[in-house]
Structure 1
Amino acid sequence: MSTSSNHRSWVASANGHPDFPLQNLPLGVFSRPGLSKRGGVAIGDMILDLRAALEVGFFNGAARDAAEAASRDQLNDFFALGASARQALRSELLHLLDESSPQLARLRPLADSVLHPMAECEMHVPARIGDYTDFYVGIHHAMNVGKLFRPDNPLLPNYKYVPIGYHGRASTICISETAVKRPNGQTLAPGATVPEFGPSKRLDYELEMGVWIGPGNAMGEAIAIGDAAQHIAGFCLLNDWSARDLQAWEYQPLGPFLSKSFATSISAWVVTAEALAPFRRAQPARPEGDPQPLPYLLDAADQQGGALDIELEVLLFTPQMKEQGLAPHRLALSNTQNMYWTVAQMVAHHSVNGCKLQPGDLLGTGTLSGPHAGQFGSLLEMSDGGKNAIALPSGESRRFLENGDEVIFRARCQREGFASIGFGECRGILLGA
């Protein structure tokens, strides 16, 4: 299952593709006119139709069983099969789609029947999401936000002991390019003693990664930290849209509610753990004086290779920028190495009380800001709580999002000697309330 940059595909657009070369092979659910929802694999500018590929005999053995599960109108059944099925399907796809495949003479004539132009397809949420949990593992974001409310004590005492999270709303998770309406709700204006009702005036984005759960656990049985990686099916980009003024009024004592539940956008493709293997890194060492994680959250292998090196980018595209013919403007560049807790620690903590995780559950990492200006994953941080305007190349400025603004997330993995891979985009345009 080579991820070397030397391997090329007979699907020409995959070679040198910024997101979907042969070495990536992410899975998603798509449809097109005359074609019902079904599972597919991104390869360059094309989608390999797994259902059609099965019909013409692309797969055998374990790979066939995996492809059959992944070809349905949701990936839950495929996620439930676990790592061995993912690896079998990936191995077969790498073999079949390689330009040096021994089966090339048989496969090329079938290309038109199994490959669809991505531009002609509609993408869908990849799985039926039973539950959604949003974590808070980006320590720089936690520090920056904490300073706005508690300048002398930005992190609460539990942060370095517990992977903080809350249960979100799965019903309003939407696929990239879905328009998002500005939410209505209660807000308390500065100096006021009673709240008012109306559209949020402080609408924000949050730069996060999404984590898809594979095989779950039985209720009452925890997932051990050393086994947690086996329960992770893949990753996506996630925009946790946030109404900051609604949140400020509602979050005490139980946390976010209407300020988050109106919409969460995700990218369409599930990038597997196998595709990300070359971009594994050691978890950054904790600062001197920080507590060691409790034993149920500490595993040597996870500390040595449980972090990921994924570059994360936020861009803003306003209506005026579009009218002026300008490109989307980069607001931030960050990295998943800014996570204080690993994904395995998130999974282990989530289940340690016996909570039942299920295939297709989705976890958000929390906002992944870096420590410096230009690396902040939200406008709340960039504008210092709305105090400072952010200048845009169009001559406009922003403290928070305005109607018509389009937020774009991108992510890329790069390492010398390996093909770079990406996640596609997570886009969302903000409409009026």
Structure 2
Amino acid sequence: MTTSWLDLPADHPFGLATLPYGVFSTAADPRRRVGVRVGDHVLDAAAAAEQAGMESGVCWDRPSLNDFLSRGHHAWAAARAWLVEVLSDPMYRDAVEPHLLPVADVTMHLPFEVADYVDFYASEHHASNVGRIFRPDSEPLTPNWKHLPIGYHGRAGTVVVSGTDIVRPCGQRKAPSDPAPTFGPSRRLDIETELGFVVGGATPLGQPVPIDEAVEHLFGVVLLNDWSARDIQAWEYVPLGPFLGKSFGTSISAWVVPMAALEAAHVPLPGQDPQPLDYLRGDEGSVFGLDIHCEVRVNGTAVSRPEYADMYWSPTQMLAHLSVNGASLRDGDLFGSGTISGADRQTRGCLLELTWSGQEPVTLEDGTTRAFLEDGDTVTITGWAPGPDGARIGLGEVTGTIRPAFE
């Protein structure tokens, strides 16, 4: 394992095996620019590159990662190799160390400008549970579910960085026993524990991305909370799917972990039957799952520990399907995996499943119970993955607090 002159602990989640990217500012310098997390510090990437003689580092002197995303996978690989070199070779210490800032002294911002946002539905366990809850008299999975990665287009403008408060949404609600719909704040506000995939390397309109090339457009991952108003969603989603029940807010972690940091976390998919169509199959290595472990806390109480390895569809399959009709990719596209859920109750990634639509509330450490979120509740999702040579890859956290509806 490569070691750093920073003398980082071997098990630090933000060691040289991780090196995630984000956008930060400081009180002394309010300019937003790209930083790299290393240990308990943030490297001012552009300033360090200039000092160390790396001319292409100018793409980091930007208020978002989008310029860097546009450079493509070869540039991403070269930048990562350079970062490992300057953080491990003592020869660069004098040039780099002055640009390391304590993480406690920086303010983190949305790491990239979200071009488009798509949310998938890639967990068989989650889709089956939701089907049983929403359609108890029908088959839990729709006939198309195992043939294609189902998704919907969300609202890019309401993607926010971790730590941003979420205002309880208002909309139409109609319980099955209600004679007519009513309007007001959501009474069944929920979370969805997801992984978000950040896309770079724009493509022309009309040109699909083959599955064997899809990984070249996957820059990295964020933790993602797809906040969901279940009562609004249940009334509106037939026949066209989620709309206002989802579009009021989506939170992502401040750090984008490169896909290169997750190579040791690749695992086989649980198994796909029937076999997908050719455009979703790919060569060996181009279709994979990820051994990522998540934890969900509500007001400090751990309520769920979802496992991403349980997901049915690969991120490369989702990207290939997203573009197979000729839809173009844009630098800064974001797509969510859909709720990460497993076969056991403690691995269900949303309150709808955990409480079985409110029938089995969870108990928090303060003795209170929750069927769905209350005003003032804070939800925090964390994650990690195994790295090379026993390293631990940290995914940071995504957190948000519910504020009362704006009425």
Contact preservation (8 Å) 1:129, 1:360? yes
CA contact (8 A) 1:29 1:40 kept: yes
TM-score (norm 1): 0.90
Which sits farther off after the overlay, 264-273 or 388-397? 388-397
The aligned counterpart of 1:309 is: 291
Q: Deviations over 1:139-193 (max 9, x none)?
A: 1100111111334510000000010010000111000000111011111134212
**Alpha-carbon distance in 1 for matches of 2:357, 2:254:** 31
Deviations 1:320-345 (A, max 9, x none): xxxxxxxx111111221121110000
2:363 corresponds to which of 391, 399, 402? 391
The equivalent residue for 1:49 is 44
Map residues 232-271 of structure 1 onto 2, 5 A cutoff: 232-271=218-257
Distance in 2 of aligned mates of 1:419 and 1:171: 36
**Aligned residue in 2 for 1:84:** 74
State the match for 1:422 in structure 2: 394
Q: CA deviation at 1:110?
A: 5.0
Determine if contact 1:131/1:170 at 8 Å carries over to the other structure: yes
Aligned position for 1:323: none
User: In the alignment, is residue 131 of structure 1 matched against residue 116 of structure 2?
Assistant: yes
Normalising by structure 2, we get a TM-score of 0.96
For 1:204-215, what aligned pairs fall within 5 Å after superposition? Answer: 204-215=190-201
What is the aligned partner in structure 2 of residue 406 from structure 1?
378
Matches within 5 A, 1:335-374: 335-374=307-346
Identity %: 44
For residues 266 and 42 of structure 1, what CA distance do their matches in structure 2 show? Answer: 16
Provide runs of 4+ in structure 1 moved above 3 Å. Answer: none
Please report how far the alpha carbon of residue 316 of structure 1 lies from its aligned counterpart in structure 2 after TM superposition: 1.0
Map 1:146-185 → 2, pairs under 5 A: 146-151=131-136, 152-185=138-171
**Equivalents in 2 of 1:358, 1:109: separation in Å?**
35
In the alignment, is the contact (CA less than 8 A) between 1:9 and 1:15 conserved in 2? no
Say if 1:59 and 1:92, in contact at 8 Å, map to a contact too.
no
The letter of the residue matching 1:294 is L
Structure 1, gaps ≥5 residues long: 318-327
Paired amino acid for 1:362 = L
Structure 1 CA distance, aligned partners of 2:361 and 2:110?
35
Match of 1:381 in 2: 353
- Counterpart in the other structure of 2:32: 37
Aligned counterpart, 1:216: 202
Q: Secondary structure at the match of 2:251?
A: strand
RMSD: 1.5
Deviation at 1:11, TM superposition (A): 2.3
Q: Is the 8 A contact 1:47 1:117 kept in 2?
A: yes
Q: Is the 8 Å Cα contact of residues 302 and 344 (structure 1) preserved in structure 2?
A: no
Matched AA of 1:412: W
Q: Matched residue of 1:223: which SS?
A: coil
Structure 2 alignment gaps of length 5 or more: none
Higher mean C-alpha deviation, range 46-55 or range 229-238: 46-55
- SS of 2:125's equivalent in the other structure is helix
Between the aligned partners of 1:125 and 1:109, the Cα distance in structure 2 is 28
SS at match of 1:261: coil
Q: Which of 23, 26, 30 is the aligned partner of 2:20?
A: 26
| Aligned counterpart in structure 2 of residue 330 of structure 1, from 289, 302, 305 | 302
What number of residue pairs does the alignment pair up?
A: 403
Tell me by how many angstroms 1:102 deviates.
4.5
The Cα shift of 1:22 comes to 1.5
Distance 1:118 1:214 in 2: 26
